[in-house]
Structure 1
Amino acid sequence: MSEKIQEPVDEGLEQARKMVEEEEMGLRHAVGWQRFLVPIVALSWSLFQLSLASWLLLDSTYVRAIHLAFAVFLIFVSFPTFKRKINIPGLRWLSATDRIPTPDLIIAVAATVLALYIAIDYEGIASRVGMPNTRDMILGGLLVLVLWEATRRVVGPALAVIGILFTLYAFFGPYMPDFLAFKGVSLTRYVGQISLTTEGIYGVPIYVSAKIVFLYVLFGALLERAGAGRFFIDLAMSMLGRYKGGPAKAAVLSSGLTGLISGSSIANVVTTGTFTIPLMKKVGYPAKKAAAIEVAVSTNGQLMPPVMGAAAFIIAEYVNLPYLEVCKAAAVPAFASYIALFFLTHIEASKLGMRGLTKAELPIFFTILKNGFHYLVPILYLLYELIVPRHSPDMAAFRATMVLLVIMLFQHVFTAKREGAPLQLGLVKGVIDIYEGMIAGARNMVSVAVATAAAGIVVGIVTMGLGGLVTDIIDTLSMGNLYMMLGIVAVCSLILGMGLPTTANYIVMASLTAPALVTLADWNGFAVPLIAAHLFCFYFGILADDTPPVGLAAYAASAIARSEPIPTGVQGFLYDIRTAVLPFMFIFNTDILLVGINSFPLAVYIFLMTCIGTCSFAAATQGWFIAKNKIHETLLLILVCAIMFRPDFFGNLLGIGNHYLCYLLGVALLGGIYAIQKPRARKHEAAILANAPKGV
């Protein structure tokens, strides 16, 4: 960061950073020989995953088992049984954070063996498919219990409780009322499918986690350790800081760039909000709104291709589409959402009569770009690998990581040479950065790996025959109404997301409701592509991160801004309403997902019109376009939004054969609103200038 923008260090920042540590990096800080255990295992995990992507060939079942074994071991040695202090004599080890208690070490080793059992006795288990012996039953059942406990420790009780409820339902389904009745399963079938096949714990989600997601999380952790996070913030500030509400606009850009490499809303808040929230407050944003803007942009960071909070790869597997097709479908709504956020920050700045930062307060763009361009090289190379030669996502991530490792190894050497310092010290710094980045990448993956494994239990139970029942239940609750059905799925995703990580929430909701959405829409004579149904579940899972009362991203931002957490979460959700509208729109207008759109000019046209629609909705909900809205102007803005999102409906209504022409009607209507508000906007600006202190 430029010297002109100093890092604000206060209690709120420390509290927010502690939240990130508790959320993603483990809680224990062991001493003695134990302090080397987690780093060694984490480094080994990273090296194992890099080996898989390059030279090591293993059966996919072995890969899944080893991946899970690393994760559960790290959980039991890193996370105490309880976060609250236990002061009962003889039980204090349950909350110990200064050491790894012997019982947890024993559990960690046992959990590792249980996770590896499917690989250890691979041939025997394969020969006993459907007929597990007593040892299979005992070890398979223990694996389920251990996995629930690991999940509870790292991501909270919600996912474990959901798994337990589904398990109970699988056994007691025959005794349920007719509305919920299910044929049920035997204990043998349950353990066999959930623990001893690749249709449960070792299913598609954890395979994607092991094969692809780890490499992208590692790439992001290494990039962050190299210094790219600070570079993105500086670059965004140098480009946008001088404009009205500039720090907020910089927060949008820097969080979008950070979202390319980060799958965590909370980490995104602390990485970018550390600098942007104090600067937003400095130029006039109230603490609550400064924090809420950071929450909204950081949450939306998970929408950004290519990583999309690790869900993009799982979506590709579930929908059976090439990874690039998933990115293509996600691109327009993600970027349109960010454009609307830019406009929303401009609206708030206009309301408050703000100005940007002065040139003296900002870093110099070309200086920042020159000093940090090397951080863009691995990202550009990653995009090249994905788009031009179209290598697989894991191969692209591996090669980009290799480029990044070379940069990390030598960047301090060049700095040392420029400053006249010993070159070997620069080389040592590079090695340390790589070492710490490898460890951070593995530790960041712990929650993803265990969440995908635990969510696999739900997926496995659904495949036992619950899928059709879920469809019938949703159909009954919605009374066959497609809009009500979408509302039910959205509310369920929000509720689940309050206690689940985004990826796990997506897996659970997609396995339960995505096929049901497609089927029920078909029953109503409406075709919904499977990718649209999956992205619908994904979007509402993301929104849970800033949905009160549990929105953790809002708590982190409010700690930095020193604002009230619940009002901050409410304000952040109000900012994110335009994101909540998008999924409903692309269900009914698949052009937004570029389904069947192969013309680049047409794709750009649709993107621009979608941006106008999201900005119009933001203006309507915030009560301000270029001046304060009157009631009829708000209604007209909603009409513009409706036209932009459903041009086919208005085309049929007005008898226009080519519905793409209806977009122009919306543009014309928005131009009319602009012309009506322009005189009022000039008066507002004049009043602000008249009341501004001299010299401003």
Structure 2
Amino acid sequence: MSNLQGKSGEQQIAPLSADEIASEEVVQELLEKYDKESQIRKFKPKSKLALLVSAIAISFSLFHLWVAGFGAIEAIKLRSIHLTFVMVLIFLLYPIRKKGMKGKPGVLDWAMIALSLVAGLYMVFANEQLAMRGGLPITRDYIMGALGIFVVFEAGRRCLGKELPILGIIFLLYAYFGQYIPGSFGHSGFSLKRIIAHMYVGSEGIFGVALGVSATFIFLFILFGAFLGETGMAKLINDSSMALAGTSPGGPAKVAVVASGIMGTISGSAVANVATTGAFTIPLMKSIGYRPHFAAAVEAVASTGGQFMPPIMGAAAFIMAEFLNIPYKDIMIAALIPAFLYYLAVFSMVHLEAIKTGLVGVSRDKLPIMKLVIKERGHLILPLIAIVYLLVQGVTPTFAAFYGILVAIGASFLRKSTRMSWRGFLMALEMGAKGSISVAIATAVVGFIVGVSSLTSLGITLGDNMLAFAHGNLFATLVLTMITAIILGMGMPTTAVYIVGATIAAPALLKLGVAPLAAHLFVFYFGNISNVTPPVALAAFTGAGIAGASPSKVGWAAARLAAAGFLIPYIWIYSPALIAQGSMGQILGALLTATVGVIALACAVQGYMLKTTNIIQRGLLFVAAFGLIKPGLITDTVGISILIIVFLWQRFQRNSVKTESVNV
């Protein structure tokens, strides 16, 4: 993350010394510990291997830019080339075991690269022949398919860890040994050839919809984020956030909420966002008096929310649009109110914590001046404006991201201080390609799960059994779905969590009459919230490493700060107005009452309103919050009545204390 040293005479914040800000070594160590994607080989700069990786990554990005802007290529060929680039980069960058991170690729690595090229590109050249055979595979197809399945699993294991590949293998075994499984989950079983053909030759396995979305929408948006990073967008976000909120009580924590939320829409990874943004914000929060575990929790929760913050949400949102066959802008609009409520709740809790503990902000003379920040870097917001405009106008995400990249490059030239150099251009191409690796291979591995579900009707069977277990009760089914998503999120990327959840859990919600968009957003939200849900909360653990706090303590504090994120998804299932479904009056009414509701929730969680609450007041605030967040005349009336009672009660207590003090 960029520091806050500026140009053109800007006044800059300097509350921390260089020693106080988390060093790059600490950040990298935390990423390698909690983020599997960061456990890569370290090549010497300008060495032959480093140059080779750069050349492949830059070629990868240029290929996708060409396809998006000028080229037309068949879907299966695009997905094959996309996956081949990804697997070659994985076997170059990711060692067989973690201890090989400092070594060079060995004979086995180069063999895997060769196998990736053969298996990955086979469908590019054999697609026409396969079409002429009416899709009927021959022996050569089966051999290439088995080879392709093997290299995808190994690439997934190296990049993502063992959890997702093991889950994929279990699903393949289920497809093969189905005749030996008793009860409703049993089936006639499928031959090895049939499984290989379905997973490799068809478009419902490895080369399915998920990989297709990675090869079109997701890659370009990750590349867009890389270009924004090279233009200096991070500095604009940091400086403007500090100028806006730095002087208020607990200002640095509010800066963390705003800056991390915005950066999260660009980075797409909660753990990476905590490690980079948190290297500055967490020490800054600690420097004004926030407790270390609370500072780390604030950063973790704010960074996690970035993945469901429009306009650019996590990669799974683009896959959701494809699964539901709706425009991405519909998902973006539906996610807007929940994201606002989530961040409002976190912001309110941070403010109440500061008031309760007597914390102050940073003095104005140490902060950037907003006028100068906008003058120096305000033009860098143009790419985001362009993206939103294009998406709202109905342009496909592919073209929106492509033109967004062009606008980002052009906008950088509006001022000399932000002008993108040729080296910066190449660096953006390289980092964009590297940033897409984990998402791409996750979508390929998840293809086995989706493929087996379509081959065996497992999704329908799981949905039926989930309904039976919950006795057809919607609330119980929602709880089971939430638990499933959170458990999956403990060991898998959020993109994979969403795809698996959408395959095995969402069908049960649909059978109970839940709208498809509401059901899929429910799975999507809890897949993300798993990053701050104990016992395994990777974003919280990363923040704990920077803050020097107990990971467990940070995890529970983060879960408390993310309380709105656990409640709101249930509300939109019963009242879809919160996801912009319904008339404008219903939507605005739900927004208004829910806004008051999440503030009440923040007061309840923090145990503070006008003063510290007693146990009865705190309980009443929870009731008021739930009543107001859930749209409805009765619930709103009850909620606002209780809130007024608690407010007047607290006001009376505070005035009584003041009167006693005066009398004394």
Normalised by the length of structure 1, the TM-score is: 0.88
2:40 is the counterpart of 1:27 = yes
| Partner SS state of residue 177, structure 2 | helix
Does structure 1 residue 172 correspond to structure 2 residue 177?
A: yes
Residue of structure 1 aligned with 2:405, choices 376, 401, 405:
401
Return the offset for 1:679.
Answer: 4.4
Which residue is 1:507 aligned to? 499
Q: Percent identity?
A: 36
**Do structure 1's residue 453 and structure 2's residue 444 form an aligned pair?**
yes
3-state secondary structure, aligned to 2:610: coil
Summarize the alignment of residues 356-395 of structure 1 with structure 2, pairs less than 5 Å apart. Answer: 356-387=361-392, 389-395=393-399
Supply the distance in 2 between the matched residues of 1:673 and 1:254 (Cα, whole angstroms): 33
Partner of 1:52: 67
Q: Distance in 2 between matches of 1:7 and 1:403?
A: 36
Aligned to 2:9: none
Q: Deviations over 1:293-352 (max 9, x none)?
A: 110111111110122111221111111211111111111111110111110101211221
Q: Which residue of 1 aligns with 2:475?
A: 483
- Name the residue aligned to 1:89: none
Instruction: Tell me, yes or no, if structure 1 residue 644 matches structure 2 residue 628.
Output: yes
Residues 594, 494 of structure 1: alpha-carbon distance in 2 compared, 3 angstrom cutoff: same
Partner of 1:292 in structure 2?
297
Match of 2:532 in 1: 546
The answer to whether structure 1 residue 533 and structure 2 residue 548 are counterparts is no
Aligned equivalent of 1:199? 204
Corresponding residue for 1:422? none
Cα separation, 2, equivalents of 1:224 and 1:449: 21
| Alpha-carbon distance in structure 2 between the residues aligned to 1:645 and 1:128 | 58
Equivalent of 2:565 in 579, 585, 597: 579
Q: Which amino acid aligns with 1:667?
A: I
How far apart, CA to CA, are the structure 1 residues paired with 2:234 and 2:371?
A: 17
Task: Give the superposition deviation at 1:640.
Answer: 1.8
Q: Distance in 2 between matches of 1:348 and 1:96?
A: 42
Conservation of the 8 A alpha-carbon contact between 1:12 and 1:559? no
Change beyond 3 A, Cα 1:227–1:18: farther
Does structure 2 retain, via aligned residues, the 8 Å contact 1:578–1:617?
Answer: yes
> Do the aligned partners of 2:226 and 2:431 also contact (CA within 8 Å) in 1?
yes
Q: Distance in 1 between matches of 2:477 and 2:117?
A: 42
Does residue 70 of structure 1 match 2:85?
yes
Unaligned 5+ runs, structure 1? 86-94, 416-425, 522-526, 652-661, 689-696
Matches within 5 A, 1:301-312: 301-312=306-317
Q: Which residue of 2 aligns with 1:432?
A: 423
* Aligned-residue offset at 1:179: 4.3
Indicate yes or no: 2:19 matched with 1:4.
no
Partner of 1:676: 649
1:492 pairs, out of 484, 499, 508, with 484
Tell me if the contact between 1:293 and 1:572 (Cα under 8 Å) persists in the aligned partners: yes
Relative to 1, partners in 2 of residues 1:281 and 1:182: Cα closer, same or farther, differing over 3 Å? same
Residue equivalent to 1:604: 588
3-state DSSP of counterpart to 2:267: coil
Equivalent in 652, 666, 689 of residue 639 of structure 2: 666
- Looking at structure 1, the residues matched to 660 and 278 of structure 2 have their Cα atoms a distance apart, in angstroms, of 32
Offset at residue 681 of structure 1 (A)? 5.2
Q: Please say if 1:315 is aligned against 2:320.
A: yes
- The letter of the residue matching 1:178 is G
Q: Deviations over 1:510-554 (max 9, x none)?
A: 1111122111x1xxxxx3100111011111110111223332212
The structure 2 residue matched to 1:235, chosen from 240, 252, 263, is 240
AA in 1 matched with 2:13: K
Aligned length: 645
The aligned residue for residue 588 of structure 1 is: 574
Paired AA for residue 546 in structure 2: I
CA contact (8 A) 2:115 2:151 kept: no
Deviations 1:354-377 (CA, angstroms, capped at 9, x unpaired): 111111222212111211112111
Q: CA deviation at 1:565?
A: 1.8
Matched, 1:268 2:273: yes
Unaligned runs of 5+ in 2: 6-11
Residues 1:47 and 1:622: Cα distance change in structure 2 (over 3 Å)? same
Cα-to-partner distance string for 1:107-154 (whole Å, 9 max, x where unaligned): 112112212222220022234466422221121112112111111111
Please give the alpha-carbon distance, in whole angstroms, between the structure 1 residues aligned to 2:500 and 2:538: 20
Aligned residue type for 1:235: S
Residue 359 of structure 2 corresponds to residue 354 of structure 1: yes
Moved more, 300-309 or 606-615: 606-615
Query: 2:383 is aligned with what amino acid?
Result: P
Question: What is the identity, as a one-letter code, of the residue corresponding to 1:448?
Answer: V
Q: Which amino acid aligns with 1:574?
A: R
Whole-Å separation in 1 of the counterparts to 2:307 and 2:612: 32
- For residues 48 and 28 of structure 2, the distance between their equivalents in structure 1, rounded to whole angstroms, comes to 26
Mapped partners of 1:236, 1:98: distance in 2: 41
Give the 5 Å matches for 1:124-163: 124-128=129-133, 131-163=136-168
1:684–1:27 Cα change, 3 Å: farther
User: Aligned partner of 2:400: which letter?
Assistant: A
Q: Deviations over 1:152-176 (max 9, x none)?
A: 1111111101101111111122211
Question: Which amino acid in the other structure matches residue 441 of structure 2?
Answer: V
Partner of 1:659: none
Cα 1:127/1:466, change in 2 over 3 Å: farther
Cα distance in 2, alignment partners of residues 686 and 37 from structure 1: 75
Residue 664 of structure 1 and its aligned partner are, at CA, apart by 5.1
Alpha-carbon distance, 1:680 to partner: 4.4
